[in-house]
Every structure is written in structure tokens, then in C-alpha cells.
Structure 1
């Protein structure tokens, strides 16, 4: 997942190809690419917040469950920050460091959204999920 995005970004920065299948197809410079990734990250965060709100709404009558969901989210936020900061440190010597960090945050946010959906918004039987399964764009 991270390796695939890393190789794509590295290739982009070295050979300046167009970003395929993206709203930021014309991004060319490091600053443009970072701005595009920032926009993508914000979109992913907004989606995650929608799923989180739906999960808390589903269990709104169960205070302990909502408190546990919030605690889990706080722990995940701390993990995401720590892990993606380590990616920044890994790439600290190059201009790709911000893009790599943003890609890390995008991947983890997508995975967290899917986990929220799977854990709190689906049922054990064939009852349809409360919200559609969120997209995972990384491999």
C-alpha cells in the first residue's frame, strides 16, 4: 500500500509524468503535488468523520460504546501522527518528504474509515450495512 504510492510519487517527482486518474492531473511541481495530496487527505478525513458520526449515532443510546469509539479514535489519531511522522523522518532529506507523509495519512485514513464501517456500521447477518462500504484506493 505505502510502497505503491511511494513509487508512484517518486516516479512523478523524478520524471514529471501526469498524475493518472486524478483531479490533480495537471499537478507538476512539488508544491502542486503537495496541495493536491492535502486536498485528497481533507476529502478522506471528511468521509471518515461521516462514518464516525454514523457509528456514534447508531450507538447513541449506549454511552459506554460511544465513549469506547471516541477513545479508539483518539488512540488511532495518535498512532497515525506517530507513524506518519516517522515516514517524514525517513524521507527528511528530500522534497518528497511531505508527499510521502500525506500519502501515509491518506492510506491510514482510508483504512480507518473502512474499519469504522466494518466494526460499527455492518451487521453479523445479511442486514444491509448502515452506510455503503468505503472505498479503499490503495493496494
Structure 2
């Protein structure tokens, strides 16, 4: 039974390019697929920003290998937490079509929070010196 599901999923995965979509107008997204597509694009943008802040943090501490290792360990632990937590959100909403949107929103919010934490922890100074990068967007409450 599980093998049949895997075969179906793989078939859908390989057929996906056939159904490649045109650019979605996120301001007027209406269908579940359009909303999920927009949220996925938003998440990718948030991931890209987080990566920029991580690169800047590592650059700042490039001479301190223990700090770089600690940043990497913290990021790995955060990734595991984000996956576990947002998977629980998916499970919570498993019975509805909103499950993917809720999971993507979870990932967006946690990524924004992580980016802000990276900025606060590694890219600001204790005095009035300007931060290495501007303060990133905070997650919506």
C-alpha cells in the first residue's frame, strides 16, 4: 500500500514541470494553489534574507572558529526545531486544504524571527555603533 503511494507521488513529481504555472499575482491569489505558491515564494525570500544575515555574521567572526562553529550548531538546531514545529502545525490542520498554507506561514514566521535573532545576536554592537546590516523585519504577531 505504501509503495503505491510512493509511486503515485513520484509520478506527480515528475509530471509537475508539465503543469508549470505562469507568474501568480499574489495580490489577487484566490485558489489554494495560488495562495500556497505565493506563500512558498515569500518563504524563499525570507530564507534568502536569513542566509544573507548568516553570511554577514560568519564574516564578522571569521577569525573566531569557535564562534563560527557555534553559529552553525545553533542554525542546525533551529532548522530541526522549525521542521518539527511546523510539521506539528501541518498535523494540526491535516484535515483541511489550509494545512500547507498554515505550515508555510509557520515557516515564514519562524524564519523572520530567526533572522531577527541572528541580527540581534551577531550583527549589532553594545554601544551606539550602527549594526552591520539593517534590522530585519520582525514576524507579525
Report the TM-score, using the length of structure 1 for normalisation: 0.83
Residue 125 of structure 2 aligns to a residue whose secondary structure is coil
> Which position in structure 2 is the counterpart of 1:130?
132
> Which position in structure 2 is the counterpart of 1:62?
64
> Which position in structure 1 is the counterpart of 2:92?
90
Give the C-alpha shift of residue 53 in structure 1.
0.3
How far apart, in 1, do the equivalents of 2:139 and 2:105 lie? 11
Q: Where does structure 2 lack aligned partners over 5 or more consecutive residues?
A: 1-24
How far apart, in 2, do the equivalents of 1:59 and 1:133 lie? 19
Q: After superposition, what is the alpha-carbon deviation per residue over 1:30-66, rounded to whole angstroms, capped at 9, x for unaligned?
A: 0000000000000000000000000000000000000
Aligned partners of 2:110 and 2:139 also within 8 Å: no
> Which position in structure 2 is the counterpart of 1:4?
none
Aligned partners of 2:86 and 2:103 also within 8 Å: yes
Map 1:1-139 to 2 at 5 A: 24-139=26-141
How far apart, in 2, do the equivalents of 1:57 and 1:137 lie? 25
Give the C-alpha shift of residue 137 in structure 1.
4.4
Give the C-alpha shift of residue 26 in structure 1.
1.3
How far apart, in 1, do the equivalents of 2:118 and 2:127 lie? 18
Q: Which has the higher contact order (CA 8 A, sep 6+)?
A: 1
Runs of 4+ that moved beyond 4 A: none
Give me the CA root mean square deviation.
0.8
Residue 26 of structure 2 aligns to a residue whose secondary structure is coil
Aligned length: 117
Q: Where does structure 1 lack aligned partners over 5 or more consecutive residues?
A: 1-22
Computing the radius of gyration over CA atoms, which structure comes out larger, 1 or 2? 2
Residue 110 of structure 1 aligns to a residue whose secondary structure is helix
